[in-house]
Structure 1
Amino acid sequence: MTTALAPLPGQPEPLLPGSVDRYLVTDVPLCGPATTAAELRGMLAGRRYASAADVAVCTADGPAGHRLLGLIPLEDVLAADAGALAQDLMDPDPPVVAPGLDQEKAAWKATHHGESSLAVVDSAGVFLGLVPPARLLAVLLTEHDEDLARLGGFLTSSESARHAMDEPIAARLWHRLPWLVLGLLGSAGAAVLVRGFEAELAAEVRLAFFIPGIVYMADAVGTQTEALVIRGLSVGVPIRSVFRLESVTGLVVGLFLAALALPAVWLVLGSAALALTVSLALAAACTVATVVAMSLPWVMSRFKRDPAFGSGPLATVVQDLLSLVIYFLIAAVVLG
């Protein structure tokens, strides 16, 4: 059996917006397990396929159609001995996805499997076609563009990001002002918090020196975690798979920064108590910021809101307030 898979009759193009079916190619080399390398090379010579990057090895035609057994990269076909059989050359466990799968998840699977093409097989095991390397690259570029738009806070996709450049004034204000108002309320809350700790500031005015640094470091650690979590959510990675590792990472980062701050503050200001206060606050604030940065994108995604658009400003407000509370509570205990 040395033939090309015929296009599926009546197949719409694309089947599902955003699914792997948009990139499916049906005109690919197809052979049986007993086909020799010489026969494969003869089949490929003088014939143009939509994609010849891989040869699909399938069972003989039957009432249900071709059933995929494996894939042979073109370079293996060209390098094989003339008498080598397809069943010995093929990868018997190629990356396989079902029709309708999200295109980014499909490209992710192909990339991590190390194959050049991705096979699409229905629930009965019938081979439907391949997604060739050029189209996988198109998926990766499209998703990369979209992920950058998400991580940059541009609505929900690269298309809407481009649309945002031409939005009228009213739409621009609608997309920005709610989060800015939330930030303004957060700053007012921060002022109220600082006022509540006037006694600590009056007793040790140098506490005020480190407020910007502690708040900034917590925000920076939280931003790194947000980027990781939002990227994972965009490709279907569950939050529980990263929660433990990222929480430990936040704690270790906080302890590392605290270890750097302790001798530096002690040496410059000559106060062991103040140095201990700053270092403990850094460790606690960075750890809490990591948990907040993981929780808010997850909560927003659960409520069908774009986490990249709203979780950043919201997390900043929450992290700033919590960092101030942590700092002054530790100061009240250590310096009190």
Structure 2
Amino acid sequence: MSFEITKEYLEEIQQLIASKSNEHILNLLDEVHYADIAELVEELNFNDGLYLIKLLDSEKTSDVIAELDEDDREKILKELSAKEIAEEIDELDTDDAADIIAELPEEQKEEVISHLEDVEHAKEIVELLRYDDDTAGGLMAKELVKVNENWNVLTCVKEMRAQAEEVTRVHSIYVVDDNDILKGRLSLKDLLTTSTKTAIKDVFIKKVDSVTVNEEDEEVARIMQKYDLEAIPVVDEIGRLVGRITIDDIVDVIKEEAEKDYQMAAGLVEDVEADDTIWELTRARLPWLFLGLLGGVGAARIMGLFEGALEDNAILFMFTPLIAAMAGNVGVQSSAIIVQGLANDNLKGSISNRLLKEFSLALVNGAVLAVVLFAFTWIWQSDFNTALAISISLFAVIIVAGIIGTFIPLFLDKRGIDPAIATGPFITTSNDIFGILIYFWIAKLILGF
């Protein structure tokens, strides 16, 4: 049964904190998972959450702090001394420890590192801090199990027992040579069924997927997703095994990328959350809203060029929102499919083939919708030419919008720009303008104004 923080449970914890019933609190939270305690800390007011962090043992609160939302973690860490932070860091795997230290002010980083009791742990954390956050080096942990190809099975088992004490989960056993160059991986089944005197180099599996320290995190996620990996080894520029990345880190990367793309598609230029300040939210939203304003002004200017025609053909004005909306909708649909395909790396074929396919799709959709609109307008207005002008305009607008929605994200991707910026306001605004222009141009040709 999943843990749930009810109103009654929250009130009980608050009352226990108020009465400083520490032993009762410890008993109540003894079997609670650290992720659930992190959620509890975020639900409590700041002082009560900090009280829990300081009350519980570092072995548990270290994971709680790593699990907290970044803003909440920053507030908590400000209230802890460098020594207290170091005590938490000492309990964490190197990747989580490096992530937390990276968030600290520069002068505090050195102070915290100087208080770490495990010197080897500190050295590994410092090494990880050298890598950019969005690379394999920034994602990896140093904790892993590796064996030398020149060992026999008996020596291998002894060494693995010692190494495994420092590793939370043993996903794979990696094989290296005397220079720590990654050679392959070892099957646990082969290890258990092979003579203790057999050399590891005679039984290990030479094929092993790996990534380099400078590989982008999105590419690491793609590789692990494609080959269904729970962990992947990381090597340096000369092939030495330096760490491993586990699936939990990749889930975080995928989640962050999805949130970023969603916000970008919605017209937010930077990462924001609902509880950010008004200034931060305004700064994130205003640029795209300004683009939308320019698009609206452009569309209004185009309509102004046909002001006289609108007076004589008022029915055209009534269908203007429909044309603009259909242009935006088709464009966003097309671009969303392309962006999704690019993100999942399952978009095959050339740009020309993709454009041809989208053109064919737009032809079918446009034809069906245009026939429906023609029938509706003709029955309503009893004017063949007007119905023809509006329906042909819709047909043309859908085709153009589909091509624009397909081409722009493909073009941006070829130029190394995140194609997610093509969706949302950008596509909608551009297609609004093109849609209005095409609409009145075709109407002018057919109705002769």
Quickly name the TM-score band, shorter chain normalised. Answer: 0.7 to 0.9
Structure-2 change in CA distance of 1:87 and 1:134 (3 Å):
farther
2:255 to 135, 141, 150: 141
2:359 to 230, 235, 251: 251
- Tell me the equivalent position of 2:431: 319
Residues in 2 aligned to 1:66 and 1:313: alpha-carbon distance in whole angstroms: 51
For residue 117 of structure 1, what is the amino acid of its counterpart? A
* CA positional deviation for 1:116: 1.9
Residue pair 2:336, 2:423 contacting (<8 A) in 1 also: no
- Residue in structure 1 matching 2:393, options 281, 296, 301: 281
- Letter in structure 1 aligned against 2:363: L
User: 2:183 aligned with 1:69, yes or no?
Assistant: yes
CA distance 1:8–1:100, shift in 2 (3 Å): farther
- Provide closer, same or farther for how the CA distance between residues 267 and 111 of structure 1 changes in structure 2, counting only shifts above 3 A: same
Residue 48 in structure 1 maps to residue 165 in structure 2? yes
TM-score by length of 2: 0.56
**Paired residues of 2:338 and 2:410 also in contact (CA < 8 A):** yes
Q: Deviations over 1:86-141 (max 9, x none)?
A: 67876644332211222222222221122221221222222222112233333333
Alignment-derived partner of residue 21 in structure 1: 137
Q: Is the 8 A contact 2:295 2:433 kept in 1?
A: yes
Kindly indicate whether residue 226 of structure 2 is the aligned counterpart of residue 108 of structure 1.
no
Q: Separation in 2 of the partners of 1:152 and 1:91? A: 47
CA contact (8 A) 1:254 1:284 kept: no
Q: Which residue, out of 265, 268, 293, partners 2:373?
A: 265
Long gaps (5+) in structure 2 = 1-119
- 2:231 paired residue number: 117
Aligned counterpart for 2:331 among listed residues 216, 222, 225:
222
CA distance in 2, matches of 1:78, 1:219: 57
The residue number in structure 2 matching 1:3 is none
Distance of aligned partners of 1:120 and 1:219 in 2 relative to their CA distance in 1, 3 Å threshold: same
Cα distance, 1:182 vs structure 2 = 4.1
Q: Verify the 8 A CA contact 1:57 1:70 in the aligned structure 2.
A: yes
* Overall identity of the aligned pairs, in %: 22
Evaluate the alpha carbon distance shift between residue 140 and residue 187 of structure 1 in structure 2; reply closer, same or farther with a 3 A threshold: closer
Distance 1:307 1:107, change over 3 A: closer
Matched, 1:330 2:435: no
Number of equivalenced pairs: 316
Q: CA deviation at 1:67?
A: 1.9
The CA deviation at 1:82 is 0.4
The verdict on how the C-alpha distance between 1:79 and 1:224 changes in structure 2, with shifts beyond 3 A counting, is: farther
Aligned-partner residue type, residue 31 of structure 1: V
Contact conserved, 1:147 with 1:231, CA < 8 A, in 2? no
Higher RCO (C-alpha under 8 Å, 6+ residues apart): 1
Instruction: Tell me how far 1:322 sits from its aligned partner.
Output: 0.7
Q: Secondary structure at the match of 1:70?
A: strand
Deviation at residue 324 of structure 1 after TM alignment = 1.0
SS in 2 for 1:69: strand
The structure with the greater share of residues assigned to helix is 2
RMSD: 4.3
TM-score by length of 1: 0.72
CA distance in 1, matches of 2:171, 2:232: 11
2:147 match: 31
Based on CA coordinates, which of the two structures has the bigger radius of gyration?
Answer: 2
Q: CA deviation at 1:202?
A: 5.7
> How far apart, in 1, do the equivalents of 2:202 and 2:318 lie?
70
1:83 corresponds, among 180, 194, 199, to 194
